[in-house]
Amino acid sequence: MGLIDRVKNILLKPKDEWAVIEGETPSTADLLGNYVAPLAGIAALCGFIGSSIVGTSLPFVGTYRTPIFWGMGIAVLTFAMAFVSVFIVSFIIDALAPTFGAQKNSAQAMKVAVYAYTPGWLAGVFNIIPLLGILGIIAGLYGIYLLYLGLPRLMKNPEAKSIGYTAVVVICTIVVSVILSMIVGAVSMLGGGGMMGAMGRGQSSAVTFDKDSPAAQLEGFGKKMEEVNRKMEAAQKSGDPGKQAAAAMEGLGAVLGGGKRYEPVALDVLKPLLPESVAGLPRKGQSAERGGVPGLEMSKAQSEYGDAGGKRVRLEVTDTGGAAGLMGLAGWAMVQSEKEDDRGIERTRKEGDRLVHEKISKTGGENEFSVIVGNRFMVEAQGRGVSIDELKGAVAALDLRKLESMKETGAK
């Protein structure tokens, strides 16, 4: 079937089209070369035209255009990340299959991932006019609907479990998409000039990366995933369902854990980290929970503090466990931003190896302060009637160094 017909049918009559797709046996190369490449390429090209040719009109500033070479670099990275996204999401779909009563089938999972991304790639056309990019949200919602229809048809999960299966895949996909977006931004910002300069000079020598750079981290993650893929193939050849399930769970943990599987720390380890009082406020209550699906388990402890005058603080520490690797990717992506208006100030920055976020209200609302420690633990403080400095003190009271020393706890 031709590209245009497939796109038209999957968008306009998805139920019928999933039935057709179910019986097809295209190779991965065919899917990537004949479907992903043209659609993702159009999206990347339109993004380049919108950012570097058309530009974005900003109040009191005028029209801003991304420099041509920089825009080209971002377009190339965006195009490449489309393939990365499809591979990771298809892997997640296949790895989660036994959890939701579905049949493991990597070929079918790849088809689900590829065709569910269709609305998102088509929405890339709106990037020609940057302000229309918001329409991509609508396309994303339709992509979720396609996923919901495609999973039971191709992966054979019970209809009753389709909502849960879809929800978990979507959560994982959102996390992956956010991280990959930050990687595109970070790599283009940090290395775009040199990369595009080399392209302009026609250099073709091998490229090496500093071991702590985003590119080196991504390269290392890719090598780990190659090893996981080999284990998955060996398990499939064995024909042993037990080995296949074990390899799938190990693979899912590797995707989310950056090459490792992490068991979240016990609740009785997290709870004692929360102090009896913060900012001069006594503790009024405490709770803790641990849960998730295999490969994405987390644990969290939380305390509430307050006084009769209305001051209150909520302090919590979360062990991201199975998603620790993705938290690490967020950390080394070097996200930095600052925004200020008449309502408040919001900042995100790196302090050493820690990613810090703070939100300061100018209208008497809540202040927030959070930090990612050891690329694994999230410590967050929210309060009303207390200053941002008091919230920073509350976070510091958790003994962040001790948390950092636990970053490899439960690693497998």
Q: Which residues contact 79 (CB under 8 A, 6 or more apart)?
A: 40, 41, 44
pLDDT tier, 23 (very low <50, low <70, confident <90, very high otherwise): very high
Residue 345 burial (CB count, 10 A): 15
pLDDT of residue 62 exceeding 90: no
CA separation for the pair 185, 169 (Å, rounded): 24
Of 197 and 374, the one with more pLDDT: 374
Residue 89 burial (CB count, 10 A): 25
Domains in the chain: boundaries? 3-205, 267-405
Please name the helix (run of DSSP H) or strand (run of DSSP E) that holds residue 316, with its range, or none.
strand 312-319
pLDDT of residue 254 exceeding 90: no
pLDDT of residue 226 exceeding 50: yes
pLDDT digits (tens, 9 = 90+) for 274-304: 999 999 999 999 999 887 655 556 788 999 9
pLDDT of residue 60 exceeding 70: no
